[in-house]
Structure 1
Amino acid sequence: MDETDLTLTALTGAAPVPSRPELTRAVSLGAARLMRDLGFSVLHEVALPSGRRADLMGLDAAGRFVICEVKSSIEDYRSDAKWQDYRPWCDMFGFAVPVDFPQDALPPDVGLIVADQFGGAVLRELGGDRLAPARRKALTIGFGRLAAARLHWRSRGLEEPAPGEGPVI
């Protein structure tokens, strides 16, 4: 928020409306915080072997994978018909949306998280089908390798490859 935003808030009593990228970032942060609270190690922007990119992917101590697709608006959801392509790559799947998102527009058979930059809440359990053992093993190895690569890049102050250009799990 810049000085103009603070002045506007002081004069009108209303905070400025965040841009779509700002809202997406806030929902992503809150959903990731919630996933960590639920026991998942979380990676953002994970390139899958299918060529798709998961917004958030988590792995828990039991070896279960969750993918959370972040949608900042109903337009964002309606313009993205590829979300079902993520289901074969996780045990649990769901959407993370802002508080004012029209939740009844989402399919009833997927999980639902409502989030802001501070955290989130699970409104509908994230469900799905259990991964086959061979796929789980490959994903677990890929997830660990991607996490280690990102840690290496950041610890060295290196620029991480853009999504889709770096390692695929």
Structure 2
Amino acid sequence: MPCSIRTASSAATLAASFALVAAPALAMDPVGTIAGTLDGEAREWRTLSVPSEGTTTANLQSFGPVTMVSIQGHDAESGSIMRGVLSIELGLMGTDASAMRVDESVGYYPDGMSGPFWVAGQEGGPLEIAFDTLALTGDPAAAGTVTADLCRKEGMFDPADTSDCIRLEARFETPLSIEE
């Protein structure tokens, strides 16, 4: 299966985010949570603020008529900020929470950018993202739930194996930074 534009975009976003949080000199503070079960096991991830960079691992960015929302949680129990990352992404065709959604995806990266990982959305299994709150202006924030069947991918450009999936059921709540 060929690589989609979304896959390439997600790879670039993840690589940039991993590079940001991997920088050892940067102080990071937890600002939000994603909590639930992954493959039946209770898990918790934290979205992080990087004050020196004026950003967080949960953000929104506008590209013309599209607003991209990215919520990246880091597993504090993994022993490395680069491992156990959960990424929730979606695009909105507009600039408010009622806009039509496009390109919804969820990814779980147990070993960071190396090794197999798990995806749902355009690739992989089905997913549902439901918002209790999605504020894109003022004090941007997101809260809601995500349910997904995450299917295994051996590499970024390999197809997802829809016969090898794990279930994610989680609740998220985090402020969003505005990326320029």
Both proteins in one fold, TM over 0.5: no
TM-score when normalising by structure 2: 0.29
If each structure's helix is expressed as a fraction of its own residues, which one has the higher value? 1
If each structure's strand is expressed as a fraction of its own residues, which one has the higher value? 2
TM-score when normalising by structure 1: 0.30
State the structure with more CA Rg: 1
